[in-house]
Amino acid sequence: MSFQIVAEAKKIAKITLVGEVDSLSAREFQKEIEKLAAESPDELILFVENLSFISSAGLRVLIFAKQKMGTGLAIYIVKPQESVLETLEKTGLLHSVNVVDQYL
Amino acid sequence: MIDNRIDYYPTHEHEGIKFRRGHTLPFGATMVANGVNFSVYSSSATSCTLVLFDRGADQPFAEIPFPDEFRIGNVYSMIVFELDYERLEYGYRMDGPFNPAAGHRFNSSVILSDPYAKVISGRDTWLAKPNWDNVYPYRSRLAFEDFDWEHDHPLETPVEDLVIYEMHVRGFTQHPSSKVKNPGTFSAIRAKIPYLKELGINCIELLPIYEFDEWENSRQSPTTGETLVNYWGYSTVNFFSPKAGYAATGKFGMQVDELKTLIKELHKNGIEVMLDVVFNHTAEGDHRGPTISFRGIDNKTYYMLTPEGYYFNFSGTGNTLNCNNPVVRNMVLDCLRYWASEYHIDGFRFDLAAILGRAQDGSPLSNPPLLESLAYDPILAKCKLVAEAWDAGGLYQVGSFPAYGRWAEWNGKYRDNVRKFLKSDPGEVGGMIQRIMGSPDLYHQRGPTASINFITCHDGFSLYDLFAYNEKHNEANGENNNDGANDNNSWNCGWEGETDDPKINFLRHKQIKNALAILMVSQGIPMVLMGDEVGRTQKGNNNTYCQDNELNWFDWSQLDTNADLYNFARNMINFRRQHPVLRSPTHFQYWDSVGSGYPDISFHGTKAWNCDRSPSSRSFAFLLCGDHAKQGIVKDSMVYVAMNMYWNGLHFELPALPPEKKWYLFANTDMPSPADICENGKESLLDNQHEFLVGARSVVVLIGK
């Protein structure tokens, strides 16, 4: 598997994505989101410092997260690499998420 | 929840893939709970097979013949379960007769694109070398409709307020001087929105962005050795899919999102998006062309055929889409509705639109059902509809295009009249008076907004070249300079091509400014060609359809080298935006309906109130009374414009203003920059309020306030 998920289903949900999220691993990502959705978190924190590529399927999971948990959900993307940030920017997803350098 | 309903359960299985009978409508591939609904029409196929690929795979992973009982009428439909929406590529094989005389060209060995596909893969990065042995080169894919538009909505700008900017997606930013991250893409246009706003335009019209193949008819240029490509893109592979190669994210299959992001951002900045759409022909060419989709799915339905089964060629490109066949008409409608609702497109310009008014046998119809359907369509009700009102088969309908109160036209007569006037031809003043007023001679019933005024467009000389070349120079196209139009009405100002002569160069710049000034003070809707505001040159090539190079790319360094042109264009466009009297929604009446003491429009010459319209005249002036702006609803200044295309300066007597008002100078193209024009609101008071010396081949714009 090309990435790992560490999930803590409190009010703040944290997921770490590592490596590449392609269309296959995006399915697992989506399953984790579905699990977290049951807990209705207020914030979803994605640690992506070591994520080098995210496919369209992976990006669609972010949209799915909003659909599943409501538009009130704040999504934080922590330390994205340039290529990931650019893809978010070009496809218009950047306005739906908060990009931050660190999350304490 | 729909996922829990039991409607969608598999009833059939083929090599481990589960499926059931599908919905006949909508056509195309639609995501349903846990599956995809496929639906395709063919009037004459004898059987159909659904072909499924994993993304990029050489061979399909499944081929599922539609069971006979899945066909309703002439529509094949099925729902296939557990497909990966992200990775799926699909197509069809159609079996049926190969009998060209009867109109049939079925060939079940070919895998066909879905005419209703929403994404096509295969040309994902511009000019990336394709695998020529691909069994299925243009692959249909699924599009997601989860884009978050927030509060966006088509802008519905009043049509008379538009200033259109005709743009090629790649050409706008591909030049290295653009200094953007992803040159040549939708994303790069977004980066240049501040430029467009500053220029003052409020609508971009994009040359075709439906998926096409830039490799079509590619070859080497005999003069430069460069690869010549299908650059303009007037050759549609699929009508519903945006061109992947125009998206930086096309290689990830996210062109839909990138284009929508661009449109949303343009709308936020008050800029509309109009698409140049090509419904007159497809990329399949004539009987020698490739079979991509339509020919193999239902040749007889999609194309106009001669009695012998060959292709009518009213488009000049090999085939003609059979637009007034009811099935094809519905496809065109479905397509435009999709772009209007799914992409928030504000308007459409129809390439060679006269073809859309031809019957299935090619004869012109007096009441073409397609044009009428588009005009009355509920979803397209607020879209701008613009026709290129001629075709390559000799049907010329400028002024007579069936309009149904909706359609505007590219006004070819405006272009011709203004060009001849600018090069000092005799006998043009009478025509110019009509053009300045929004061509009431052509559009008496339809109003000035029926007239899209343009002097240049992608097809023909750029504005700079109009004043630098007497003749076309198309050798680089590899057709022995036989391609492209010969009636350019251009004038090289005394030297063919580039020159160091400062007098000639000054005159060329002045002529460009004259042209821009005339365009911006004419009633109707002005359209500016990308780059004309900075003197873009095509080196005399008037048919750059195949040139993916500096002949077509916007050179951003010209913003500096031709700063005087840019400054003039920006101020002139913003002058139009500031003065509603220039943007009347209805024709002027030639009389004073608001009691201002002045008619809405009046014509003048070297003597006020006395316009010389004789054949030898090469100059005139007009006065717009601001109290009549927008039918008297808003107040504006008086605007006086004098145009002298005579080769000597002429003294123009100025019409008298009401006592409380004075004449101010806004623009005088005879002056060197920056004295040629000023920022709006900073017009300078004239010393002489009674007369103005208008230089040779010059335009002067005054306001009375």
A82 touches chain B (CB under 8 A): no
Q: Cα–Cα distance between B494 and B497 in angstroms, integer? A: 9
Structure confidence by residue, pLDDT tens digits, B644-690: 999 999 999 999 999 999 999 999 999 999 999 999 999 999 999 99
Structure confidence by residue, pLDDT tens digits, B366-386: 899 999 999 999 999 999 999
Using CB atoms, pick whichever of B87, B147, B249 lies closest to residue A90: B249
Picking from A8-12, B240-244, B348-352, which range would have the lowest pLDDT averaged per residue? A8-12
| Torsion on CA atoms B14, B19, B20, B22, rounded to nearest 10 | -120
Residues in chain B: 705
Q: What's the pLDDT at A1?
A: 32
A7 touches chain B (CB under 8 A): no
Closest approach of chain A CAs to the CA of B69, in angstroms?
A: 35
A63 touches chain B (CB under 8 A): yes
Structure confidence by residue, pLDDT tens digits, B381-394: 999 999 999 988 89
Instruction: Name the residue with tokens 């993307």.
Output: A77
Q: What's the pLDDT at A7?
A: 57
A12 touches chain B (CB under 8 A): no
Of all residues in chain B, the one with the smallest CA distance to A58 is B86
Element (H, E) at B139: strand B139-141
Three-state SS at B532 = helix
B268 phi-psi bin (left φ>0, alpha ψ -120 to 50, beta other)? alpha
Structure confidence by residue, pLDDT tens digits, B517-552: 999 999 999 999 999 999 999 999 999 999 999 999
Using CB atoms, pick whichever of A55, A60, A86 lies closest to residue B146: A60
Contact list, B258 vs chain A (CB under 8 Å): 90-92
Q: Mark out chain B residues that contact chain A at CB-CB < 8 A.
A: 55, 84, 86-87, 144, 146-148, 150, 181-182, 187, 247-249, 252-254, 257-258, 260-261, 264
**CB within 8 Å: A23 and B86:** yes
Q: Does domain B159-412+438-455+506-523+556-580 have CATH number 3.20.20.80?
A: yes
Using CB atoms, pick whichever of A23, A55, A63 lies closest to residue B146: A63
Give the residue numbers of B marked as catalytic.
Answer: 351, 388
Query: Among candidates B701, B548, B564, which has minimal Cα distance to B639?
Result: B701
- In sequence order, what are the beta bridge partners of A98? A76
Closest approach of chain A CAs to the CA of B91, in angstroms?
A: 21
Of all residues in chain A, the one with the smallest CA distance to B182 is A90
Closest approach of chain B CAs to the CA of A96, in angstroms?
A: 8
Q: Cα–Cα distance between A60 and B568 in angstroms, integer? A: 46
From residue B194, give the alpha-carbon distance in Å to each of A3, B134, B550: 40, 42, 23
Structure confidence by residue, pLDDT tens digits, B40-99: 999 999 999 999 999 999 999 999 999 999 999 999 999 999 999 999 999 999 999 999
Residue B270, CA atoms < 13 Å, CB-side half-sphere: 13
Structure confidence by residue, pLDDT tens digits, B286-344: 999 999 999 999 999 999 999 999 999 998 889 999 999 999 999 999 999 999 999 99
Q: Cα–Cα distance between B392 and B278 in angstroms, integer? A: 13
Structure confidence by residue, pLDDT tens digits, B616-642: 999 999 999 999 999 999 999 999 999
Q: What's the pLDDT at A2?
A: 46
Closest approach of chain A CAs to the CA of B123, in angstroms?
A: 17
One of 2.60.40.10, 3.40.50.300, 2.40.50.140, 3.40.50.720 is the CATH number of B2-141, namely 2.60.40.10
**CB within 8 Å: B257 and A96:** no
Task: Mention every residue, 6+ apart, whose C-beta is less than 8 A from residue B671.
Answer: none
Would you place residue A6 in the very low, low, confident or very high pLDDT band (cuts 50, 70, 90)?
low
Q: What's the pLDDT at B2?
A: 47
Structure confidence by residue, pLDDT tens digits, B345-363: 999 999 999 999 999 888 9
Mean pLDDT of chain B: 96
- Determine the residue among A90, A94, A95 to mutate to test chain B binding: the one whose Cβ has the most chain B Cβ atoms within 10 Å: A90
Contact list, B148 vs chain A (CB under 8 Å): 63, 66, 92, 95-96
Whether this model's ipTM surpasses 0.90 comes out as no
**Region B413-419: what's the mean pLDDT?**
98
Q: What's the pLDDT at B257?
A: 95
Note the pTM of the prediction, 2 decimals: 0.95
Portions of chain B given CATH number 2.60.40.10 = 2-141
Q: Is the pLDDT of residue B705 over 50?
A: yes
Q: What's the pLDDT at A95?
A: 86
**CB within 8 Å: A91 and B144:** no
Q: Is the pLDDT of residue A10 over 60?
A: no
Of all residues in chain A, the one with the smallest CA distance to B261 is A92
Q: What's the pLDDT at B230?
A: 97
**Region B482-494: what's the mean pLDDT?**
96
Closest approach of chain A CAs to the CA of B257, in angstroms?
A: 5
Which pair of tokens denotes residue B485?
């139009």
**Region B3-11: what's the mean pLDDT?**
74
Domains of chain A and any CATH numbers: 12-100 (3.30.750.24)
B218: exposed, middle or buried (C-beta count within 10 Å: 0-12, 13-18, 19+)? middle
One of 1.20.1250.20, 2.60.40.1180, 2.40.30.330, 3.30.930.10 is the CATH number of B589-704, namely 2.60.40.1180
Q: Is the pLDDT of residue B419 over 90?
A: yes
Contact list, B252 vs chain A (CB under 8 Å): 55-56, 87
**CB within 8 Å: A90 and B187:** yes
CB atoms near residue B311 (< 10 Å): 24
Provide the angle, in degrees to the nearest 10, between the axes of the packed helices B563-578 and B502-521: 20
Of all residues in chain A, the one with the smallest CA distance to B188 is A90
Q: What's the pLDDT at B360?
A: 86
B672: preceding bond cis by omega (within 30 degrees): no
Q: What's the pLDDT at B14?
A: 95
Contact list, A91 vs chain B (CB under 8 Å): 249, 254, 257-258, 261
DSSP letters along B142-200, please? --------TT-------GGG--EEEE-HHHHH-SGGG--SSTTSHHHHHHTHHHHHHHT
Q: Is the pLDDT of residue A11 over 90?
A: no
- Determine the residue among B121, B141, B151, B254 to mutate to test chain A binding: the one whose Cβ has the most chain A Cβ atoms within 10 Å: B254
Closest approach of chain A CAs to the CA of B3, in angstroms?
A: 14
β-bridge pairing B219-220 and B210-212: unpaired
Q: Cα–Cα distance between B668 and B698 in angstroms, integer? A: 7
Structure confidence by residue, pLDDT tens digits, B197-237: 999 999 999 999 999 999 999 999 888 889 999 999 999 99
In three state form, how does the secondary structure of chain A look?
CCCCCCCCCCCEEEEECCEEECHHHHHHHHHHHHHHHCCCCCEEEEECCCEEEECHHHHHHHHHHHHHHCCCCEEEEECCCHHHHHHHHHCCHHHHCEEECCCC
Instruction: Name the residue with tokens 């005389």.
Output: B101
Would you place residue B514 in the very low, low, confident or very high pLDDT band (cuts 50, 70, 90)?
very high
B-facing residues of A in 14-43 (CB < 8 A) are: 23, 26
Closest approach of chain B CAs to the CA of A64, in angstroms?
A: 9
Closest approach of chain A CAs to the CA of B29, in angstroms?
A: 18
Contact list, A56 vs chain B (CB under 8 Å): 86, 249, 252-254, 257
Q: What's the pLDDT at A8?
A: 56
Portions of chain B given CATH number 3.20.20.80 = 159-412+438-455+506-523+556-580
Q: Is the pLDDT of residue B409 over 80?
A: yes
A95 touches chain B (CB under 8 A): yes
A86 touches chain B (CB under 8 A): yes
CB pairs under 8 A between A and B: 55
Q: What's the pLDDT at A9?
A: 47
Q: Interior CA angle at B234 toward B228 and B237, to 5°? A: 100
Would you place residue A103 in the very low, low, confident or very high pLDDT band (cuts 50, 70, 90)?
confident
CB environment B622-655: b (16+ within 10 A), e (fewer): bbbbbbbbbeeeeebbbbbbbbbbbeeebebbbb
Portions of chain B given CATH number 2.60.40.1180 = 589-704
**CB within 8 Å: B146 and A90:** no
Residues in chain A: 104
Contact list, A92 vs chain B (CB under 8 Å): 147-148, 257-258, 260-261, 264
Q: Cα–Cα distance between B495 and B492 in angstroms, integer? A: 6
Q: Cα–Cα distance between B31 and A32 in angstroms, integer? A: 23
